[in-house]
Chains A and B, each alone.
Chain A
Amino acid sequence: MNLILSQRRRETAAGWLMSAPVIVLLAVFLVAPILMAAWVSVSDWTGIGSPFASGVHSTGPANYRALLSTPGLPQQQLGESLRNNVYYVLLVVPVQTALALGLALVVSRRRLAGRGFFRTAYYFPSITSSVAVSILFLYVFGSTGVVNAVLGDLGLHGPNWFNDPNGVIHLVLSGLGVGHAPGALANHGFLGLSWWEWLAGPSVAMIAIMTLAVWTTSGTFMLIFLPAIYAIPADLDEAATMDGANSWQRFRSVTLPLLRPALFLVLTLGLISTWQVFDQIYLMSQGNPAGTTLTPAYLSYLTSFGNQQWGQGAAIAFILFAIIVVLTIAQRLVVSDRRGAQ
């Protein structure tokens, strides 16, 4: 009895020893920086020397208060960046997931000729440097770029994409004759923006960046769907066909339920990465035009490195962190609820 116990203890010790390198790495490069950033977000650190030096004081929740409850530019910019990112997530996540699933279904067809070619072609944007892709899109969506040339051939007058700050919902409303805000929406608001401004929708410039995001990430997510599709036993499909199900019914009732784990993964990864969008903004628009492509991640960078307000920059990062955590948990609950119901 004693022997077994001591042997188990030895095994535990060995286990800890074996995993120690990873734990140390995680602690040094993940846990410690997060704790440091958490401290910076409640301090008056000026970016000089260590945040733990004697000259740095705690300011309590002052940085969070300046962002969340004090009217002014910091609050307004946080509001703008959250609005922009909400629309970005709402449009990019469903579109990229649907597109990735569609592409995966197409290239997994056993009868498709040149499957390898299409798989590579669709995956190509994902492995191209995001800098190169961003610069390319600046030209494609330039006011005399390819997109506008095509629209011109169709008899449409394309917008000046990256310089157009108009929200698409506002544009649609003004097309319907609602050019100005009803008083109730214009006079009340949240986080320094009126409800009318919250309802602007993504700006034309943001639409161009969303297009880029969908184009580059769909290939990656297609790659996650593909093995899940291959793992579906062919006889299930055949059995459904025998039962008289048409192709839509087979997709809806056989393929899709079996893809749920992959779907959950894609949605979660998509949700997290879209909330953290930074490089495209940094490279293409720097938040312009009129702050309509500002995102929390870029705002955090701008506040820290541009304005040297490190505490406020870190606070934005933690607000973003909280949003992502809450949304991921909510999404998990929704998906597992459905699973329970079946």
Chain B
Amino acid sequence: MNRKATLTALTALAAGLVTLTTACSSSNGFSSGNSATPASTAKASKTQLTLMFGSSGTAETNAVEAAAKAFTKQSGIPVQVIPASNLTQQVAQGFAGGQPPDVFYLDPLTFQNYAKDGVLDPYPPNLPSANGFSPALQQAFTYKSTFTCDPKDASTLALYVNTADWTQAGLGAPPATWSQLQADAKKLTTGGRVGLVIDQTHSGMDEFFYQNGGTVTNAAGTQVQIDSPQNVRALTFLKSMLTQGAMKLPSQLNAGFSGQAFGENKAAMDIIGNWENGEIQSDYPNIKFKVYPLPAGPSGTHATLSFTNCWGVPKQSRNLAGAIEFVKFLTTPQQEMTFAKAFGVIPSLQSAQQQYVQAFPQYSTFVQELPYAHPDIAIAGATQALSAFDSALAQLPSANPATILKTAQQNLQAVVDQNK
């Protein structure tokens, strides 16, 4: 009997506590955040803003902190800068707790999730930068034809060539076609070194689909088309280079990613984005390299992948107008160039890109490729389907390209159907 009473008391206590937590979290949570007024009419208050970001290192952290200070000086709105160790997780925790950061870095895949949930403020059209971004970047942050989040930078994949290896092999102009790429990779494969390395993920291989006239989804994003014959041929081409030994995947070279293999000169060429510049500068300062546009596919199609993050602003921000003011400050050509000089990112604004090319002519390739760049795959809820796809691509040396793409097609289409 005593035990029964104890149990009853415990259950009652637990129930009471659950009610308590509910009451607490809903009072300062979702419901109160919905009353936000549109940005154009609201006036920025002096309420403190929080900026959460994932930093690539001290250079980026310092630059972001300096920008926040400059904004505070200009507007009188204090900004708390929080470098996150696991950005996606910490932002998710903020949303769950009803207090997301007012401005945060947001990747295109997570963007799709939040845009689908309708928690992001679609501020971009109200800012002066509205039509100034590269189309591929704007496309990455457009959800159901609404441009929802300002891209903060741009990256494209390009061909990195180790100049010493290149000269040693007696090669001239960079490869302009797939067959030249294959031939050059073969010539560069000597001793312990392989000609070409590429990352064993969709973000490192999908550009070959586009170069071969294929695609990943239709324009509306309603139909996945990843198992098309063009894509199977593209993946088969990559497999043939693997079989030939002219190309290897990072795991085959005991490297975590392709840039490491390139930096350690286990590979003479690498297809990777401009983040590799900082990597080489800090970890492999002795490597001399040049960057070229990616070779075109058999039909002469030029294509590459673009990567970017955006300045996410939640609707439920306690100082929404202030947060948008802050993004406006961060997306001026001057500020984007300041970031570019501080930690090597490429500006997202076309006007700032022109300044960037003048300041860094050796990296003009990345900007030059932007007009034909395709955004990396981003579908709401596709994280697991994509990681399964990546796992399969990592097995390309021993797997059948058509099977890999067929499975990816099924898994991704299931996610797309679920989102309808």
Contact = CB atoms under 8 A, between A and B. Distances in A.
Contacts of B47: none
Contact of A302 (B382, B383, B392, B414): B383
A32 B384 contact: no
Interface in A42-67: 46-50, 52-55
A220 interface: no
A291 interface: yes
B381 interface: yes
Interface string B71-109: 000000000000000001100100110100000000000
B31 interface: yes
Interface string B337-381: 000000000000000000000000000000000000000000011
A143 B385 CA distance: 28
Interface stretch (B22-30, B62-70, B160-168, B239-247): B22-30
Contacts of A165: 391, 395
B33 A28 contact: no
Given A48-B119, A49-B95, A54-B31, A142 B254 contact: yes
B387 interface: yes
B130 interface: no
Given A163-B251, A308-B113, A52 B26 contact: yes
A288 interface: yes
Interface in A139-153: 142-144
Interface in A271-312: 286-291, 302-303, 305-309
A163 B33 CA distance: 46
B35 interface: no
A160 interface: yes
A240 to B, nearest CB: 43
Contacts, number: 116
Interface residues of A, number: 42
Contacts of A23: 10, 13
B169 interface: no
Nearest to A310: B96
A325 interface: no
Contacts of A28: 17
A77 interface: yes
B25 A52 contact: yes
Contacts of A54: 31
B26 A50 contact: yes
Given A32-B17, A77-B384, A290-B392, A47 B411 contact: no
B117 A46 contact: yes
Contacts of B18: 32, 35-36
Contact of A306 (B14, B30, B88, B117): B88
A-B interface, 4 closest residue pairs, ranked by CB to CB distance from nearest? A49-B30, A50-B25, A163-B251, A306-B383
Interface of A: 16, 23-24, 27-28, 31-32, 35-36, 46-50, 52-55, 72-74, 77, 142-144, 160, 162-163, 165, 286-291, 302-303, 305-309
